Structure 1
């Protein structure tokens, strides 16, 4: 891989000289080629030779003349490769150089390894600082530009190196005869060669050696993200080969122990294979359109190996767990597998688990990621939706027509409520756990507008009204009864969804009337576009996504679990700090009137009330789950405050991610202009201090009696609720007098807001049926 610093300071003059030299060499060799073919070879063919001259000399002359032609082709190909590679390097270097030169003017520093940071960090700016103040979008733009330039140079370097090795060949006595008109053509030739070689290894099935599986993995890894290779591989293996391979790999009855003894390699192969097929589906060539159609039409076919069998949908869904598949393909696949399941179960008369393996031989081991065995085709399909937000949003907002049925299937209702998820063996037991996990991932994707496991860097607030429609269904369903989230075990996903809409939840919870669908006038929450309007359309400028009562029920139920409580508590803290920094009086204000504090009061009040709901919901569930004064109960209470172990340094465009202990990172939408503000940055420092104190005192806390420990935990929750206020009043610019005034004023709001409701206002804790 080309390093940032190497590309920035690359000396390309020598490469241009090489291009010029090879251009001259091509001219000379073509002259020699013409003389050899029209002179020496032409005369030899006309000569009336007999005996050894005819049998040896003439073929030798003909072969020698051909070598001149091959030499000319090879020289021209080398020139073409060097020419195009030079162009790519020069273009990439130019882009990188401009990014580096422009960065200081944007207030951005770029280190020698390509690391991007503030030229002057906000915490170190003088009061009279009037230099550039980069937004998160500026950092994202610089990082993506660097990444793109380095990637372009790296790809050109690797393609050129391989092409030149091919051209020079392994024969010391003959020219290779290979011919490349461009670097792009060389890349396609290399892709086709790799795909053909990979397909040959696939044809060996589970008779392949571990070394051959390693080689197959390398082909897929080296060509990751390469659309041309992906299509060549998918077509070379074929739909039938694709399905047969994975059924055979999971069949131990033929004596092969390849998958059993090398599970790590097969797990890697499944992931690489899935990502390759995902890339291939974005091609719309006639051949790939047929491939996609054949995959769907083969879904109900029985794929047989020596001792096992599975339906095509079962196999293919396990090859969809990674990568972003084409949206149209996912919609058609999802409709087809849902229709197939409806027919097989006679519209719900049978359970899906009864039919997917009914009448078949022993079920094969179809998934090697260590999560389950891959029996339920819907689990893998949900993972695919989890990686394509457009497809998942469309799917959960759709109704699927089933031939012969009068009523179409509501996709959201079917998969969240009506469907009995297939039980399967997984690491810690037997049941539908992985299927529900995958459902949660698909819902995250549909709600947030990005893949559920998308990296934080460069993430943007992409929520649309279609995403919001899915969230309205999620809040209505999972907020109606705690059994759904508890029995499905997806509180972590619901917590992430709640954190992504924390602004809209605050907007709803400002409303006192639990049945009102109207926003409080001049609310500081919700509308987060630059012009002050809702990103969900004009209707939501004044109307709420969720009624106050529905918002309370959903957040309370999600917070009953450890994961949901942690994610929502961290999200609420960050959002309160952010909003306070936006709507409160600006630090440094000479005079603060009571009316200046209205929005600050609202922000802190709603934040404190929300934290009260979350903390009491978690305590109520702990009371339900454990026996009084048991060590497990005391530990659960102590852990209810460990969500404070988050950092606010991982800032992303249009929002901020926060990592909570032991759970996935939620995404909190913020106004992009204020990301990196002194208030949010300060919050991270105070949270770190609290986390350190929490760790130091854990052993001491666990020695307390249950009642004392619970009281202390709720008191600690109240203290954490004040952290946004602390970060706000300690932001640079405040006079000591105003800082003290604001601290006292807002602390009073926090204290009174925490007692505005009683436990009876919240949904009952979940109680398992005996």
Structure 2
């Protein structure tokens, strides 16, 4: 790994000198090669030698002449490698130097080891400081640029080093004759060599040793993200080899101890293998197009090992759980596996669990991540959709045609309706027991991806709000379905995913909540909410400039039902709090304004009212569900009530949609689309102080809270919820710039409105808590 400081101060003049020297050497060796081939070798071939001269001297001269040619090839290859490596190093160094030179202009300092920080920290800025004030997004961009430059230099360094070792060879008496026209060609040659070596280890199946599996994993990790290696590996192993290997690995009947004694290695291997195949599917070479087609056509084939068997779809779906597979491939695969299931079940006449293993031998262990055994092909496919938002969005907005097989009519399958409502998910052994929970978890991941426009587990760094109308269409379906009856989210157990989706659209939920009519799909005029672009129009298209994604009735139902769960309540409460704080800073009066008019407070009033009502819905819904789930005054019930306030520990690191965050520095979170604004940022930073103190106080007093009587604890917890709802208002009023008179006026005005609005929704206005079925 090339170090940041080494690259920044690298002296590349010596390398250029070496390139020049080798260029001269190439010229000289080519001259010698020409003389050897046209002179010495040609004369030897024409000579009428007999005896030992004919049997020894002529081959020796021919071999010697060839060595001159090999020497010239090797020298030219060394020159080419050094030339291209020098070019890559120089480009990386120049980029890094520009990053370092430009950083101070952005108010950013870069340490000698590449650590990024403030040029002048906010705590040390003098009064009246007017220099640059970088946001978290700017830090992220600089870090990403540094990483890109260092990675490019590292890749060039490692490729060049390996190529030079190959060129010099192990034979001290002969030139290798290897020829590289460029560093890129050398990299491809290395990839092909690694892919062949990996395929040889795969051919050993579960007869390989633990050391050989470790070597196979190393081939994958060393070539992570390398498209050429991925394609070569997929083609070297082939579709059949791919399927056979994993059925054999999961067959306990053949006496192999590899998967029994080294499950951690096999788990790592499955993940690496999946990510490699994902990379390979992005190639559109004729060979890879055939590979993808063969994978799909093999889906209904039975793959047999000594004592187990599985369908191709079952095997392949477990090799799709990691990495982002090609969008078209996923769509084709999803349609094919859905059609296969509908045909096998005779359009729902049988349950999927009855057919995927029907008539086969004992099913193999196909999934090694510890979540389930991999029996249901739809679970792995959903995980694949969860890592490709475009494919997931398209899939859940699609209807899949099921061609007739001569046994009745086959109606198109509405993908969203089928997988969320109609399908009976396959029961399997999973980490917490036996059932369908694992499958619904994967469904939740796919829905997160389809709704948010990002992989469900995407790292937060550098993500932007990329939601589209197609994403919004999926969310409309999610809100309509899961907000229609609490049994769906509770029985499927995906409130965490639904909470993240709700957080991702918290702006649109606020927009809907502003509308007093529960049925109206029209926006309240001049709403301060909504996923608007800088020009004020909706990112979901002109229709939504004035119209809502969902009416307030559906919004209330969804928010209430999702927040009945601990996870949903925490996620939505945190998102609403941060969204309120930032939006207050954006739409409320500027603290530096000298005069305040009542009309200046219109949007601030709207924000506070809607936020208070929303928090009231969330808190009362959670309390209602706790009342349903636990016996009165039980220790478990009191603990659940006390824990309902723990969402505050998120502080301003609020989890918002698909694992995304809003940073304490006030950068707008990618899934809470806020206008970048100095006051808004300051309010979020101020909120952080309140939430940190509240979280600390809550933790310290937990034991004392649990000693209270149930009624008192419930009343105190709801009162604490009111205090937490107040925090964005307090943070706004604490923003720098207010005069004492204006601050007091704003504080009293907004606080009074907040308390009145909090009472707007009562238990009678909300969906009933979920009642479990009697066993």
The aligned counterpart of 2:146 is 146
Secondary structure of 2:701's counterpart equals helix
- Are the counterparts in 2 of residues 108 and 119 from structure 1 also a CA contact under 8 Å? yes
- Are the counterparts in 1 of residues 401 and 413 from structure 2 also a CA contact under 8 Å? yes
CA distance in 2, matches of 1:696, 1:127: 37
The aligned counterpart of 1:331 is 331
The aligned counterpart of 2:224 is 224
The aligned counterpart of 2:509 is 505
- Are the counterparts in 2 of residues 136 and 654 from structure 1 also a CA contact under 8 Å? no
Matches within 5 A, 1:86-235: 86-121=86-121, 125=125, 128-135=128-135, 137-235=137-235
The aligned counterpart of 2:377 is 377
Deviates more, 1:300-309 or 1:588-597: 588-597
Matches within 5 A, 1:150-549: 150-404=150-404, 405-549=409-553
Secondary structure of 2:650's counterpart equals coil
Indicate how the Cα distance of structure 1 residues 151 and 674 shifts in structure 2: closer, same or farther if over 3 A, else same: farther
1:319-364, Cα deviation, whole Å (9 max, x unpaired): 0000001111111100000000000000001000000000000000
The aligned counterpart of 1:690 is 694
Please tell me whether residue 767 in structure 1 is matched to residue 767 in structure 2.
no
* Structure 1: gaps (5+ residues): none
CA distance in 1, matches of 2:371, 2:323: 17
- Are the counterparts in 1 of residues 733 and 747 from structure 2 also a CA contact under 8 Å? yes
The aligned counterpart of 1:701 is 705
- Are the counterparts in 2 of residues 308 and 361 from structure 1 also a CA contact under 8 Å? yes
Deviation at 1:659, TM superposition (A): 9.7
Secondary structure of 2:385's counterpart equals helix
CA distance in 2, matches of 1:755, 1:651: 26
Deviation at 1:3, TM superposition (A): 2.0
Deviation at 1:633, TM superposition (A): 1.0
Deviation at 1:217, TM superposition (A): 0.6
Aligned match of 2:614 in 610, 617, 626? Answer: 610
Deviation at 1:213, TM superposition (A): 0.6
Secondary structure of 1:752's counterpart equals helix
The aligned counterpart of 1:681 is 685
CA distance in 2, matches of 1:363, 1:676: 56
Deviation at 1:751, TM superposition (A): 1.2
CA distance in 1, matches of 2:153, 2:2: 7
1:89-131, Cα deviation, whole Å (9 max, x unpaired): 1011111111221222223332323233343455655564433
CA distance in 2, matches of 1:380, 1:653: 22
Indicate how the Cα distance of structure 1 residues 590 and 617 shifts in structure 2: closer, same or farther if over 3 A, else same: same
Indicate how the Cα distance of structure 1 residues 651 and 580 shifts in structure 2: closer, same or farther if over 3 A, else same: same
- What TM-score, normalized to structure 1? 0.97
Deviates more, 1:116-125 or 1:260-269: 116-125
Deviation at 1:51, TM superposition (A): 2.8
- Are the counterparts in 2 of residues 135 and 673 from structure 1 also a CA contact under 8 Å? no
The aligned counterpart of 2:27 is 27
- Are the counterparts in 1 of residues 679 and 735 from structure 2 also a CA contact under 8 Å? no
Aligned match of 2:647 in 639, 643, 653? Answer: 643
Q: How many residues align?
A: 766
CA distance in 1, matches of 2:115, 2:176: 43
CA distance in 2, matches of 1:510, 1:264: 51
Secondary structure of 2:521's counterpart equals coil
Indicate how the Cα distance of structure 1 residues 659 and 140 shifts in structure 2: closer, same or farther if over 3 A, else same: closer
- Are the counterparts in 2 of residues 528 and 534 from structure 1 also a CA contact under 8 Å? yes
- Are the counterparts in 1 of residues 460 and 659 from structure 2 also a CA contact under 8 Å? no
Deviation at 1:188, TM superposition (A): 0.4
Indicate how the Cα distance of structure 1 residues 486 and 423 shifts in structure 2: closer, same or farther if over 3 A, else same: same
Cα RMSD for the two superposed structures: 2.0
- Are the counterparts in 2 of residues 99 and 146 from structure 1 also a CA contact under 8 Å? yes
Deviates more, 1:343-352 or 1:68-77: 68-77
- Are the counterparts in 1 of residues 386 and 449 from structure 2 also a CA contact under 8 Å? yes
CA distance in 2, matches of 1:651, 1:716: 21
Deviation at 1:390, TM superposition (A): 0.5
Deviation at 1:64, TM superposition (A): 1.8
CA distance in 1, matches of 2:366, 2:581: 47
Please tell me whether residue 620 in structure 1 is matched to residue 624 in structure 2.
yes
CA distance in 2, matches of 1:209, 1:374: 24
CA distance in 2, matches of 1:655, 1:133: 26
